[in-house]
């Protein structure tokens, strides 16, 4: 997305999925319809001519991280008060000197940002349409989740979104299954490790089960729904699950996988469970450019229009009151102490991280969003230095804008 202005003037939608049928119950009326909005209104105004001077300190932090081999490639987008004030790429796809240079059009494996950009947005849209009852027991929507443990009957869809279901954080299901259906069956049968609602434990398993519930509500897959309800309306033309082969040259590799798939992972999802699910998964699998995430963040800062209402955005991005001490909202996270968002993001902020080295943080009080996309898992996931890089980078951006 080298020139977002040109992007706005010539929106060309990539036909990744067939035209959708009506995907919700036409008998359920939306009592407060959104005002008509033209797609270009979703785009933040380009205003990054002075970015190298304004964000000199922040950009140098990224360059030094590349020199220290924290990650080989990075792409940054910053929106502030309705404008795109930063759009910058750094490094090369890998550490090899002849590797392709990263550009503002480079497309990254978002990993767990998939949870908020696609899956949580799908839940928000269904909630607005009166189709999603957040306090519905999971077993009512996904009967396969029932089991001998009576606690499973108390798990709700809200708990899955808020990561308080009692399900474990992660299971290497890919080691014992070969197909999507087998992986789903294994996820349904995963035992609880805590009482529902008693504690917060970030859980990929919970989101895998959530996806099944959402897809059954609309009788449509996550990728199709996301394309025509989120990415299409917002002109996010560089965002997709299972990106087409023509995009591969624009996608930095994420891993040299010699233990499971035995190949370099480029243009396909890095997460192994998502790979078994065919690349379309609620917890990982989405690819996007930093510029496209800037569009999404701008929409969230604008109250969600034209795809959502401000009240829905506020509900899903507000920190949950329980379990005690949680930093989680519905799908989203909020700043904790310490936080990857740094020390300046307000208590009303919300964001999320991705395992491959991606992050998006949004502050309604400052009218600020910061997208940082990297491939820190190249060639493997051993380097954890991004944990120190993220807050340092975010603080430098806020300070560059005169914030304290």
Q: Tens of pLDDT along 303-359?
A: 999 999 999 999 999 999 999 999 999 999 999 989 999 999 999 999 999 999 999
269-281 as b/e, with b when 16 or more CB fall inside 10 Å?
bbbbbbbbbbbbb
Distance CA 9, CA 180 (A): 40
For residues 258 and 213, the answer to whether their CB atoms sit within 8 Å is: no
**CA 193 to each of CA 168, 201, 235: distance values in angstroms, whole numbers, following the listed order:** 6, 10, 41
Strands 73-80 and 83-91: antiparallel
For residues 114 and 286, the answer to whether their CB atoms sit within 8 Å is: yes
For residues 160 and 137, the answer to whether their CB atoms sit within 8 Å is: no
Instruction: Supply the pLDDT for residue 41.
Output: 64
Instruction: Supply the pLDDT for residue 11.
Output: 35
Distance CA 265, CA 116 (A): 23
Return the residue matching tokens 């590349």. Answer: 66
Distance CA 233, CA 230 (A): 6
For residues 196 and 159, the answer to whether their CB atoms sit within 8 Å is: yes
Instruction: Supply the pLDDT for residue 42.
Output: 78
What are the tokens at 388?
A: 């120190």
For residues 370 and 354, the answer to whether their CB atoms sit within 8 Å is: no
Instruction: Supply the pLDDT for residue 170.
Output: 94
Instruction: Supply the pLDDT for residue 402.
Output: 93
Distance CA 376, CA 340 (A): 15
- Taking the complete model, does pTM exceed 0.95, yes or no? no
pLDDT in tens, the chain (404 residues): 444 444 433 333 333 333 333 232 323 233 333 333 333 567 999 999 999 999 999 999 999 999 999 999 999 999 999 999 999 999 999 999 999 999 999 999 999 999 999 999 999 999 999 999 999 999 999 999 999 999 999 999 999 999 999 999 999 999 999 999 999 999 999 999 999 999 999 999 999 999 999 999 999 999 999 999 999 999 999 999 999 999 999 999 999 999 999 999 999 999 999 999 999 999 999 999 999 999 999 999 999 999 999 999 999 999 999 999 999 999 999 999 899 999 999 999 999 999 999 999 999 999 999 999 999 999 999 999 999 999 999 999 999 999 77
């Amino acid at each position: 997305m080298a020139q977002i202005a040109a992007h706005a003037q010539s929106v060309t939608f990539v036909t990744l999925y067939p035209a959708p049928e009506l995907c919700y119950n036409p008998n359920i009326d939306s009592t407060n319809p959104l005002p008509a909005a033209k797609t270009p209104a979703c785009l933040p105004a380009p205003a990054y001519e002075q970015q190298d001077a304004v964000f000199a300190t922040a950009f140098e932090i990224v360059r030094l991280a590349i020199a220290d081999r924290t990650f080989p490639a990075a792409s940054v987008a910053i929106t502030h008060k309705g404008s795109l004030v930063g759009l910058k790429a750094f490094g090369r796809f890998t550490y090899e000197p002849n590797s392709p240079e990263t550009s503002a059009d480079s497309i990254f494996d978002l990993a767990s940002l998939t949870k908020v950009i696609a899956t949580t947005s799908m839940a928000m849209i269904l909630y607005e349409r009166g189709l999603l009852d957040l306090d519905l027991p999971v077993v009512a929507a996904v009967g396969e989740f029932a089991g001998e443990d009576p606690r499973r009957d108390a798990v709700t869809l809200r708990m899955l979104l808020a990561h308080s279901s009692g399900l474990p954080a992660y299971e290497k299901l890919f080691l014992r299954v070969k197909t999507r259906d087998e992986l789903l069956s294994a996820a349904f049968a995963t035992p609880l490790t805590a009482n529902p609602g008693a504690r917060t434990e970030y859980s990929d398993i919970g989101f895998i089960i959530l996806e099944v519930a959402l897809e059954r509500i609309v009788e449509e897959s996550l990728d199709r729904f996301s394309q025509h309800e989120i990415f299409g309306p917002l002109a996010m033309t560089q965002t997709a699950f299972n990106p087409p082969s023509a995009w591969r040259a624009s996608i930095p590799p994420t891993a040299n996988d010699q233990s499971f798939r035995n190949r370099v992972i480029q243009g396909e999802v890095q997460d192994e469970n998502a790979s078994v699910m065919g690349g379309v998964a609620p917890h990982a699998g989405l690819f996007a450019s930093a510029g496209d995430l800037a569009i999404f963040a701008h929409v969230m800062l604008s109250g969600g229009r034209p795809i959502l209402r401000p009240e829905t955005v506020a509900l899903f991005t507000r920190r949950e009151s329980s379990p005690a001490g949680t930093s989680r909202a519905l799908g989203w996270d909020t700043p904790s102490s310490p936080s990857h968002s740094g020390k300046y993001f307000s208590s009303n902020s919300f964001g999320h991280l991705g395992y491959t080295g991606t992050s998006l943080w949004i502050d309604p009080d400052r009218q600020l969003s910061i997208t940082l996309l990297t491939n820190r898992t190249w060639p493997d996931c051993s380097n954890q230095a991004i944990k120190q890089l993220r807050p340092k980078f975010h603080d430098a951006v806020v300070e560059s804008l005169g914030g304290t």
